[in-house]
Amino acid sequence: MFYMDGQILLFIQEHVRNPLCDVFFKTITHLGDAGIFWILLTVVLLCFQQTRRAGIYSACALTASLIVNNLILKNLFGRIRPYELVEGLQCIVAPAYDASFPSGHTGASFASAVAIYQQIPRKFAISFLVLAFLIAFSRLYVGIHYPTDVLAGIVTGSSIGVLVNVVGNRVNSFRKV
């Protein structure tokens, strides 16, 4: 699997990267730094009565993603970043100093986007899922994560987002009784 992970990253570097996309994906990837975009979105959602539940769900999902992905799984697996191991791979953003697996940017993005998805109108919710996918791909594009890191972030983040919705909706249904 490691070989295929590396080959995918080298393919992106050699056949997809270009100066225009470099600027775009560097910008996109930085939206996920420390979950800043998702945290700011959560704060905005919390400010309005009609979106407050989405904000609460997003806050819960971001917190759970931080715990699961960044505090537990990264420390459990301790995977070395691809730019340190894949010969010829160039990382085009500042190096990260934590473990590679899973992608925290991707996990947080999907946790928040999926948690919000069922709570706001679809036309807005879809745009957040698209952004989550762009952030996930950006992690490959800039060379800071393996594809399996990103895939794990999608799975853990989406699972957390769904779980937050299930638990939150169940708690809300008990409160109405």
Q: Structural domain boundaries of the chain?
A: 2-83+97-176
CA distances from residue 83 to 21, 79, 134, 167 in whole angstroms, order as listed:
19, 12, 20, 39
Cα–Cα distance between 96 and 87 in angstroms, integer?
18
Would you state the CATH architecture of domain 2-83+97-176?
Orthogonal Bundle (1.10)
Cα–Cα distance between 153 and 173 in angstroms, integer?
30
What local confidence, expressed as pLDDT, does residue 176 receive? 63
Q: Which residue carries 């009784």 as its tokens?
A: 177
The answer to whether the beta carbons of residues 79 and 149 sit under 8 Å apart is yes
Task: Please give the single-letter amino acid code of residue 85.
Answer: L
Q: Which residue carries 């996990």 as its tokens?
A: 107
Up-side HSE of residue 94: CA atoms within 13 Å toward CB? 6
Cα–Cα distance between 173 and 55 in angstroms, integer?
18
Q: What does the pLDDT look like over 16-59, one tens digit per residue?
A: 999 999 999 999 999 999 999 999 999 999 999 999 999 999 99
What local confidence, expressed as pLDDT, does residue 1 receive? 66
What local confidence, expressed as pLDDT, does residue 173 receive? 77
Q: Which residue carries 């806050």 as its tokens?
A: 59
The per-residue pLDDT string of the chain (177 residues; one tens digit each, 9 = 90 and over) reads: 668 999 999 999 999 999 999 999 999 999 999 999 999 999 999 999 999 999 999 999 999 999 999 999 999 999 999 999 999 999 999 999 899 999 999 999 999 999 999 899 998 999 999 999 999 999 999 999 999 999 999 999 999 999 999 999 898 877 765
